[in-house]
Amino acid sequence: MGLSLIYNLFCNFNLSMRDYKLNDKGMKMKIEKIEVVHLKLPLNETFEISTGSITEKDCLIIKLHADDYIGIGESSPTPSPYYYSYETPYTCIHIMKDFIIPRLLKRDIKKIGDVDDIFDNMRGNNFAKVGLETALWDLFAKYSGKSLYEFIGGENKEIPWKMSIGIKPSIRELLDTIERFLDSGCRSIKIKIKRGWDIEPVREIRGKFGDIDLSVDANSFYVLEDIEIFRELDKYDLTQIEQPLHYEDLYDHHILQSKINTPICLDESIDSVTTCKNALDIGSCKIVNIKIQRVGGLKNAILIHDMCKKKEIPVWVGFIPESGVGDIIGLALCSLSNVLCPSDISPTGAYFKEDIIIPDITMGKSGNIKLPEGIGLGCSLDNDKVDKFKVSSFEFK
């Protein structure tokens, strides 16, 4: 028996232990209609990372209709293969329309595992899978009468969060932005870095704000030969350095991690359960960022969470960013017990001028985000906003 087969058996065993099904009486559902709505949501300000900048965010909102329920999910690709992933809104629509939706419609579904052949057997295209897969989880939660976080076994109801701040034109603008978020109740800050915008902004932030929870994210900008930059950053007591090196290079991350004290957190590298296992096995990182979009859905996100927990590697939940729909799904993941670092989620309004869910995501007096209590996602779509930002829509029966 090959190692990968043994590993797959381990993964499936874990999933069945969590028992994600409609009910114990063999109840089944059939998806009768699927809607895909492509939106472009304007950002509050240009968001720049080491690979490029965006001023609006594409979102594909999915609605699965079964009996009297509507499951809602989101695929949230970036606009070009030069930014974060090779997928775009149009590759996602192609994969959904021509491959996933024909296999999902009219199928009898009793448990999450009943659609493994659709999602697990498809290579790549994780952003395309996520909208339909997460909408299915919302349907399961709604059929069971539970909130999504209860349905997946979440424990934490208050979620610590951090603000991810893009590369700014000047140190002054960076410090002003951080001050604004700290004043609004945020207690954890992450800044994007690239060569020439790394040590100085970190030094200035420490100088002005002292011992705040601070981390940096390079989005794969550097190479191992830049190690002196990381040795210098090591002096500033950062919570983590996120994705410093190329997203395919687990080995060089292992070398870098062995030479610096600051924990490396992998983001772009962790695109599957198997890649995460490889990264942990060779010591490429000490923290894992799970993005539901990047790993192809909530099932893989839960498997990665569970594997990291067994290996005592803390995780947190990253966002692309997504609309409020993706945020709420990510918040459910944040409720699991090994999400031990603040996640990239934020209250409504932090990134987008207007969002598409009712009610808003808000921060409690504790400074944490409270999970919604309603069944399923615990929110509904604001249809006026969906119409306002709609680019196109498709319906399949």
Which residue lies nearer to Mg ion by CB, 319 or 389?
319
Catalytic residue among 57, 192, 299, 385: 192
Binding part of the chain for Mg ion, among 121-129, 209-217, 297-305, 359-367 by CB under 5 A, reads 209-217
Neighbour-count burial of 86, counting CB atoms closer than 10 A to its CB (0-12 exposed, 13-18 middle, 19+ buried): middle
Catalytic residue among 57, 190, 277, 291: 291
Q: How far is the CB of 219 from Mg ion (least distance, A)?
A: 6
Binding part of the chain for Mg ion, among 66-74, 184-192, 216-224, 373-381 by CB under 5 A, reads 216-224
Size of the site for Mg ion (CB under 5 A): 3
332 phi/psi in degrees, rounded to 5: -60, -45
Which residue lies nearer to Mg ion by CB, 11 or 264?
264
Q: How far is the CB of 70 from Mg ion (least distance, A)?
A: 32
Q: How far is the CB of 84 from Mg ion (least distance, A)?
A: 8
Which residue lies nearer to Mg ion by CB, 120 or 242?
242
- Decide: is 322 part of the binding site for Mg ion (CB under 5 A): no
179: amino acid identity, one letter: E
CA 17 to chain centre: 24
Question: Does 192 participate in catalysis according to the annotation?
Answer: yes
> What separation in angstroms does the CA of 196 have from each of 89, 166, 221, 294, 314?
32, 14, 11, 28, 30
Alpha helices in the chain (DSSP H): 3-18, 89-95, 101-104, 116-119, 126-144, 148-151, 171-183, 199-209, 227-233, 250-259, 273-282, 292-295, 298-310, 324-334, 383-389
Q: How far is the CB of 243 from Mg ion (least distance, A)?
A: 5
* Footprint (CB under 5 A) of Mg ion, residues 273-302: none
Residue with the shortest CB distance to Mg ion? 267
Binding part of the chain for Mg ion, among 99-107, 263-271, 309-317, 361-369 by CB under 5 A, reads 263-271
Which residue lies nearer to Mg ion by CB, 189 or 357?
189
> Which of 267, 271, 306, 327: binder of Mg ion (CB under 5 A)?
267
Which residue lies nearer to Mg ion by CB, 144 or 240?
240
Distance CA(324)–CA(343), nearest Å, equals: 15
For residues 329 and 146, the answer to whether their CB atoms sit within 8 Å is no
Which residue lies nearer to Mg ion by CB, 264 or 379?
264
Which residue lies nearer to Mg ion by CB, 50 or 75?
50
> What separation in angstroms does the CA of 172 have from each of 175, 178, 179, 200, 236?
5, 10, 11, 12, 19
- Decide: is 133 part of the binding site for Mg ion (CB under 5 A): no
Q: How far is the CB of 242 from Mg ion (least distance, A)?
A: 5
Q: How far is the CB of 268 from Mg ion (least distance, A)?
A: 7
For residues 141 and 112, the answer to whether their CB atoms sit within 8 Å is no
For residues 380 and 155, the answer to whether their CB atoms sit within 8 Å is no
Say if residue 42 is preceded by a cis peptide, omega within 30 of 0.
no
CA nearest neighbour of 217 among 51, 94, 106:
51
* Footprint (CB under 5 A) of Mg ion, residues 226-255: 242
Binding part of the chain for Mg ion, among 217-225, 233-241, 334-342, 352-360 by CB under 5 A, reads 217-225
Which residues, 6 or more positions from 396, have their beta carbon under 8 angstroms from its beta carbon?
33, 34, 35, 36, 97, 101, 105
- Decide: is 217 part of the binding site for Mg ion (CB under 5 A): yes
Provide the b/e sequence for 285-294 (b: ≥16 CB within 10 Å): bbbbbbbbbb
Only one residue has tokens 């209250």, namely 347
Q: How far is the CB of 286 from Mg ion (least distance, A)?
A: 15
Residues interacting with Mg ion, by CB under 5 A?
A: 217, 242, 267
List, by residue number, the catalytic residues.
Answer: 192, 291
